[in-house]
Amino acid sequence: YVMSLMNGARIGIAAQSVGIAEAAFRVARDYAASRKQFGVAIEKLPAVRDMLIDMKIAIEAGRALLYETSRIVDMELGYAKRLETNPPEDKAQAKQLKNDSRKYKRYAGMLTPMSKYYCSEMCNRVAYDSIQVLGLG
């Protein structure tokens, strides 16, 4: 029971991290497009362009990991609910359902802390890089 609460909290933190990173990236991207230096928008400068590209790649990787983790946790909850509320009569089918439920529980136990860690660290990196693009760091 406690692990399912932890899984939900970890997914929530990962989702918040992706949202914060996306917001920081958008501010940096918009600023880089509007700020002119040496007669050209700073988004055209290779160092700034590379930072923006790296930020977007990291955000999309975090988003993909978050979506897959959420799918796995949903599958785990679905199998557990099916076993609780409407278990199959056939023993072989019930055994297969239990095995699938265990498999998704293990996947969820592995992916939720991984998502939380990656997304929260990625959020910090993107926020720091956004500060650099804004010229405040």
Distance CA 102, CA 131 (A): 44
Structure tokens at 4: 């399912």
Q: Which pLDDT value is given to residue 66?
A: 98
Identify residue 98 by its one-letter amino acid code: K
Q: What is the pLDDT of residues 10-61, one digit of tens each?
A: 999 999 999 999 999 999 999 999 999 989 999 999 999 999 999 999 999 9
Is residue 1 pLDDT above 70, yes or no?
no
The residue with tokens 């979506």 is: 67
Q: What residues form DSSP beta bridges with 40?
A: 37
43 secondary structure, DSSP code: G
Is residue 2 pLDDT above 90, yes or no?
no
Q: Which class would CATH give 2-133? A: mainly alpha
* pLDDT grade for 137, boundaries at 50, 70 and 90: low
The arithmetic mean of pLDDT across residues 69-82, rounded, is 94
Residue spans per domain, the chain: 2-133
Q: Which pLDDT value is given to residue 136?
A: 79
Which range, of 30-34, 88-92, 117-121, averages the lowest pLDDT?
A: 88-92
Give pairs for 15-19: CB < 8 Å, separation 24+: 15/66, 15/119, 17/62, 17/116, 17/119, 17/120, 17/122, 17/123, 18/59, 18/62, 18/63, 18/66, 18/119, 18/122, 18/123
Question: Where are the extended beta strands (E) located within 18-117?
Answer: 36-37, 40-41
* pLDDT grade for 4, boundaries at 50, 70 and 90: low
